[in-house]
Copies of this chain bind each other. A is one copy, B any other.
Amino acid sequence: MRIKDIAKLAGVSPATVSRVMNNNGYVKEEKREAVLKVIKEVDYQPNPIAQSLKNQKSHMLGVIVPKISTETASRVVAGVTEVAKVHGYQVLIANTDLDIEEEINYLKFLSNKSVDGIIMMGTEVTDRHLAVMDKLAVPIVILGQEVKGYTSIIHNDYDASFSMTEYLIKQHHREIAFIGVDEKDEAVGVVRKKAYLDCLNKYAVKVDSKLMAIGDFDIDTGYQMMQQILTHKTPTAVFAVTDHLAIGAIHALLDAGLRVPDDVSVVGIGDIKLAAYLNPPLTTVHYTFKTSGKMAAEAVFELMEDDTKQGKRFMTTFELKTRASVKAI
């Protein structure tokens, strides 16, 4: 069913049908009703693609995620879709599976008016990303990393990580192992580690490189890194930069015959849905990922209206969730 068919059925011109559909321009009440009647009868829905071509608006938002099957990603996407829906927008998912080439390809593809705005969940933002982003035809918001000149939604990784370390120190822990990730991920790999180190220094706690391990984001990696640390020394507490790594660490500790938290305390960051239901319930930092998604979407819509507002920096809040996985000494 095209607008032309509706026009024929209602005995008017396509232009009149369009006016009725979009509620603009004058149209006699009589004809309006005739058109509406036909529209209802045949359940006419305009072709969104033709509308997009004509209006130069696709009413779609693109979201580039590094890995869709993670809780973080799905919470972000949930937030984005929620705001998008309010604006009558659809959400296009581009899953890159951590492939930088894919990320750049999607940036190019999604631009060119295929979507009206892009939200990129960043891990590593390289110069090549920037080169492409500079030429983008549509507004973009980066989520999870800070990028100069671009609106970014960042999680307060520094303060969160610092607070968490400080919390452990205030529970009188002095041998705090660190399980981190590669520095390619600026927010998680660099910032969280820096905050940990800064905090140790502030409280004059000696940094012991034997208590530190760096790997990827997998639960199993957390397990292995914990094992590796244990070969050197048994800490009184473990600070893992994500909840998954913390879970892996806990299992390594248990398998080594240690009790959590009685022998070793463990904390993570992220507050995944099950963190409170683990055994022991995990002390962690709650990040408002869904809210981040909403903020990112709102920022994109703002940029769509006024692209001079680029470069804003939003910092989301966090909350320390103290649960049973930590025991004071």
- A residues sitting closer than 8 Å to B (CB atoms) are 43, 45-50, 52-53, 58, 60, 67-71, 73-75, 77-78, 81-82, 85, 90-95, 108-109, 111-114, 135, 219, 247-248, 251, 254, 272-274, 277-280, 290
A90 to B63, CA, bound (A): 11
A74 touches which of B60, B70, B114 (Cβ 8 Å): B70
Contact call A74/B81, Cβ cutoff below 8 A:
no
On whether A92 and B95 interact (CB within 8 A), knowing A45-B109, A74-B74, A277-B251, the answer reads no
Contact call A48/B112, Cβ cutoff below 8 A:
yes
Contact call A247/B277, Cβ cutoff below 8 A:
yes
A25 to B247, CA, bound (A): 59
Contact call A69/B75, Cβ cutoff below 8 A:
yes
* A137 shortest CB reach to chain B, Å: 9
On whether A47 and B90 interact (CB within 8 A), knowing A78-B95, A81-B95, A274-B247, the answer reads no
Residues of B within 8 A of A75 (CB): 69
Contact call B60/A69, Cβ cutoff below 8 A:
no
Contact call B49/A114, Cβ cutoff below 8 A:
yes
Residues of B within 8 A of A92 (CB): 60, 90-93
A108 to B95, CA, bound (A): 25
Residues of B within 8 A of A112 (CB): 45-48
12 CB-based A-B contacts, threshold 8 Å: A49-B52, A49-B53, A49-B113, A53-B53, A68-B77, A68-B81, A69-B290, A71-B74, A85-B95, A90-B93, A219-B277, A248-B277
A254 to B281, CA, bound (A): 13
A69 to B293, CA, bound (A): 12
* A48 shortest CB reach to chain B, Å: 5
Contact call B68/A71, Cβ cutoff below 8 A:
no
Residues of B within 8 A of A111 (CB): 45
A91 to B68, CA, bound (A): 12
Contact call B71/A78, Cβ cutoff below 8 A:
no
Taking A67-B78, A77-B93, A274-B274 as given, write out 8 further A-B residue pairs in contact, using a Cβ cutoff of 8 Å, ordered by the A residue number: A43-B108, A46-B112, A47-B53, A48-B112, A49-B53, A68-B74, A81-B95, A90-B93
Residues of B within 8 A of A45 (CB): 108-109, 111-112
